Amino acid sequence: MSRVCKALLVALTADVASASRNHLKVDKTASAHQVMDRINALLQTRGLGTAKTSITPEAQESMNSALTRVVTEIEEKVESRIKEGHRGTQEAINKAIDELKGSTDQAVQRKNAANMHDQYWFDCVKEEKAKRVAIEEAEKALAQAQKEQVAPCQQQDYSKMFTAQPDADKFVCDISEHGNCQPQMSSYQAHIDGLVAGVRTDATAATASWTEAKKQCDAAKYNVAEKQAALEAANKAWRAQRQSCMTQHENRAVAMCLFGRHLQGKCEHSSAYLALIAEVEKVNGGEHSHPDRQQEWKVTSMTKCMLEKVISGSDIDNGVLDTCEGAVNYDASVGALDKKADEYARLTAADKFTCSESYISFIGQNWNVPEGEAPASSEYTTADFQPAVNLDPSAAPFGFCQA
């Protein structure tokens, strides 16, 4: 209580011996000091301490005038200080909650952004793996095309040469018997013509066979070229996707680390609020102690009440003390202190971070991305991802943020 009452000059010495009496009759010739001594003694019987005034021994006014001055001084110096302290504490609580709300909103926004970048990267690597699968399929298709090229091209090579050995019998004519050999000549000519026609037919068939073999070989070569081009395109697409995913991975890490920093800031404000509330609730505490201020207001109000009773001609006894004590209403006179407990609970709910987190989940999964220029698609695997978080603002929020 001495915190607020330092504005008043001295605490009058309580007459502890007189405090044991149940009835303290006010002598109209008594001084204001004596009345205050008696009030303080009665207050002490309730364990309420003593009231503080600035009555000086040199005051020569009548008792009522002096006591009226005490009441005025209580109102102007003590009550005003208590109310000012109450307002200051409420403003400090409001500020702490406002700062917590602002930092919480920032942390939630950063978390949503980190989740978004995490999803972008996860989907990107999923596509990267798919493009690796496409490469493997293109490699298989090329190998099959190369295999299918062998037979038609071999057939073309085998059928490129045509040979014929027609059996042309030796021409024999007995001139002495047949004269000019004309019949034999005609017969031989017909035989030769038949042989030539056969060769021509075979040559035509061989040409058609080679032409077909060439057509099939060319088609097979074209298919191989297509498959090679498809493989090159698949490799190019995979490399481009891989580069894009590396960029996405960097963006993801930055977003997560920014969120971590904002989470640390939010938790600093949460701790500051809790420290303030602990100070507010502490008995015999500092400038924000609410119990101390309530007790001080109670003593001050009861003292003022009893002084007004004396001024009005009443004696001071336990009945008056009970009446004055019953009239004390801190919330009505000074104000109800709003500790913003519900707001704090809302701002530290699980969806807004409790500041007791050990791990943080973003989308909950992580890719194990293989190294090398030609990894197998099977090397791309997923795992649960909930990185440990450090809420100490002097440290990196996540291990990967240190890099």
User: What is d(CA 24, CA 17) in angstroms, rounded to the nearest whole number?
Assistant: 12
Asked if residue 270 belongs to a domain, the reply is yes
Q: What average pLDDT does this structure show over 255-278?
A: 98
286-291-293-297 Cα dihedral, nearest 10 degrees:
-160
Residue 48: predicted pLDDT: 59
- Answer whether 19's CB lies under 8 Å from 44's CB: yes
Question: Residue 35's pLDDT is what?
Answer: 62
132-146 average pLDDT score: 97
Over range 11-25, report the average pLDDT: 30
- Kindly report, residue by residue over 352-381, the tens digit of the pLDDT: 999 999 999 999 999 999 999 999 999 999
Picking from 120, 127, 370, 112, the residue whose alpha carbon sits closest to that of residue 252 is: 120
Cβ atoms of 47 and 38 closer than 8 Å: no
Residues 100-123: tens digit of each pLDDT: 999 999 999 999 999 999 999 999
Q: Which residue is it, tokens 């509330």?
A: 277
Confidence class for position 157, pLDDT limits 50, 70, 90: confident
Structure tokens at 204: 């035509």
φ, ψ of residue 53 in degrees (nearest 5):
-135, 175
For residue 15, being part of any structural domain is answered with: yes
DSSP lists the bridge partners of residue 316 as 24
What pLDDT score was predicted for residue 162?
A: 72
Place of tokens 């991975």: 249
- The answer on pLDDT for 17 being more than 50 is no
| Average pLDDT of the segment spanning 323-340 | 95
233 within domain boundaries = no
Residue 61: the pLDDT is 52
Asked whether the whole model's pTM tops 0.75, one would answer no
- Examine the pLDDT at 7 and tell me if it is beyond 80: no
Taking residues 174-202, report their average pLDDT: 79
Structure confidence by residue, pLDDT tens digits, 293-315? 999 999 999 989 988 988 888 87
Whole-angstrom CA distances from 194 to 184, 190, 197, 203, 309 are: 15, 6, 5, 14, 156
Closest among 135, 198, 138 to 165, alpha carbons compared: 198
Q: What is the pLDDT of residue 51?
A: 55
Contacts of 308 (CB under 8 A, 6+ apart): 71
pLDDT band at residue 205, thresholds of 50, 70 and 90? Answer: confident
Instruction: Extract the tokens encoding 186.
Output: 């005609």
- Asked if the structure places residue 380 within a domain, the reply is no
- Confidence (pLDDT) at 186: 82
248 within domain boundaries: no
322/24: higher pLDDT = 322
* 367 found inside a domain: no
* Residue 109 belongs to a domain: yes
Structure-token pair, residue 300: 């001050």
Residue where the block lists tokens 């040469």: 161
Task: Give the C-alpha separation, 227 to 169, whole Å.
Answer: 55
Model confidence band, residue 387 (pLDDT cutoffs 50, 70, 90): very high
pLDDT above 90 covers a percentage of the chain that reads 61
**Three-state secondary structure string covering the chain:** CHHHHCCCCEECCCCCHHHHCCEECCCCCCCHHHHHHHHHHHHHHCCCCCCEECCCCCCCCCHHHHHHHHHHHHHHHHHHHHHHHHHHHHHHHHHHHHHHHHHHHHHHHHHHHHHHHHHHHHHHHHHHHHHHHHHHHHHHHHHHHHHHHHHHHHHHHHCCCCCCCCCCCCCCCCHHHHCCCHHHHHHHHHHHHHHHHHHHHHHHHHHHHHHHHHHHHHHHHHHHHHHHHHHHHHHHHHHHHHHHHHHHHHHHHHHHHHHHHHHHHHHHHHHHHHHHHHHHHCCCCCCCCHHHHHHHHHHHHHHHHHHHHHHCCCCEEHHHHHHHHHCCCHHHHCCCCCCCHHHHHHHCCHHHCCCCCCECCCCCEEEECCCCCCCCHHHCEEEECCCECCCCCCCCCCHHHHC
- Higher-pLDDT residue of 196, 1: 196
- Length, in residues, of the chain: 403
Checking if the pLDDT of 203 tops 70, the result is yes
Is the pLDDT assigned to residue 15 strictly greater than 50? no
Distance CA 250, CA 111 (A): 16
Pair of tokens at residue 198: 């056969």
Please determine, for residue 5, whether its predicted confidence score (pLDDT) is greater than 70.
Answer: no
- Number of structural domains the chain divides into: 1
At 31 the pLDDT is: 55
**So what's the pLDDT on residue 305?**
92
> Residue for token digits 């040979």?
163
Share of the chain above pLDDT 70, in %: 85
Q: Say if 154 falls within a structural domain.
A: no
pLDDT bin (cut points 50, 70, 90) of residue 197 is confident
pLDDT for res 9: 28
pLDDT, residue 395, reads 96
- Its domain, for residue 302, covers 2-115+263-362
Average pLDDT over residues 241-258: 97
